[in-house]
Structure 1
Amino acid sequence: MTHADLPRSSDLPPDTRWLARHAPRAARLVRSVWDVRVHDLDRVPATGPVILASNHIGLVDGPLLVLFAPRPTHALTKIEMFSSRAGGLLRRSGQIPLDRDAVDMAAVRASLRVLRDGGVLGIFPEGHRGAGEYDLFRPGVAYLALVTGAPVVPVTFFGTREPGGARSSLPRRGGSIDIVYGETWQTTPHEWPRTREQVRATAALLRQHLRGEVERARSLTGRDLPGPIPDPESHNHPSAGSKRGTP
């Protein structure tokens, strides 16, 4: 299978130099606020394309996924964040804008460029903050794994939202946060055409693996997830479920 057989990727490679320079300093600053403990970091391959697929329970999951990864990581980030005060920082650090309410081909192309260049892509398959159990699962991560064959490394967060905490709440100062890297999952890349049924079947297998890694992380840390976000804040987007279409 040649590169020409695959979907077009972005012509603009993300810049990893800014992250390499500034992420360690930012991580030290975060550790001055919270007790961040990272487990099984060696499960992330040292070279080659990697997808970090993380559960999503709290506001700071995205920044922590990027700052504590062992390699420069480009995370799919909701497009609204790029219009906020953090927008300039997100662009400089090479994060990828994502329209969560549409099939965002620009985000797909940028993600493929990261992986084809042998980089690390961060993604939250649940789509929104919630209980972190993968009750909702968007199959885009499975699509990217099918296209590229990149290994998927599960990431499980504990402590980034307190039990009963609101959607935008932060953990208490000095609280402990655990980041657990899981066992790699990989599928064989499929040539064109890839059917929706293939993507859905792959997504089902990956979702099962990620759920198993949440359980392993529970046993490893002795911690539990915070539960659903209290109503009326909880998102109830039918489009965020596991039957959402893929590019």
Structure 2
Amino acid sequence: MFTQTISLLALAALSAQAIVTPTSPDSNTVVKVGEKINALWTVDSVDNWNDVSIQLMTGDNLQMVPLATVAEGIDGTKVSSYSFDAPDVSPYSKIYFLQLRVTNGGIATNATWTTRFTIAGADGSATAPEQSTVYSGTTVEWGTGTLLSSVSTDGSSSSNSTSTGTTSSNSTSGTGAGSSVTTVSVSDTSSSTSASASENTSTFTSGTASGSGSKTVAAAAATSASASASGSSSGAGKKEVGLGMMLLAGLVGLAVL
């Protein structure tokens, strides 16, 4: 009974957590080389998304390849967009996506992804993705692209219709999810809380990554606890109820914050 009480309280704490959710670009987005890539997301004013970096990504769901870091130090609790020029790439195809990653103390603790979108040539030309993989019954088209030009980091971010310049440095190293983020991927279908990271919702479990519609993956750390009680059965029951109420009150306080 006591273990069940702790488990329910832990689930309540997880449900109170939030995460930035990308809304653009999506699977219908086609950006020509030199045009603006507009990254949009919902603001998370609850959790610690106040040190966010944005990376241009390519590759397979389980082997994401970072092409460049296009922005760093974005306050995701206030800022809701970032724009930068689409670089020249090869091939022109629907095989590129963005990763939003938050760090705390220099360690990546949470990550979320857009769906794959198309970077096309200046004349609008693009080819179909060369690869496809079936994840949980869904076929995901993908490919691995390369940069033919550097990514401009003189982009702009905005919050409440206010634009500010943002500068960062390019990076071609690292992993899609960061050093402390579990392996994840992005899928073409609606996400579930126990399978694939999808187009319109956020989860943080092992799963499959990306293709159509916006998808996010959130790092939700599960908590567990155990306790022992001594004495008579009636005394143990009182301790269990009392401790359960204390934990519940603490979690309610966290949810309010």
**Could you tell me the TM-score, scaled by structure 2's length?**
0.22
Report 1 or 2 for greater relative contact order, CA contacts < 8 Å, sequence distance ≥ 6.
1
Greater strand share, structure number: 2
Greater helix share, structure number: 1
Q: Return the index of the structure with the highest Cα Rg.
A: 2
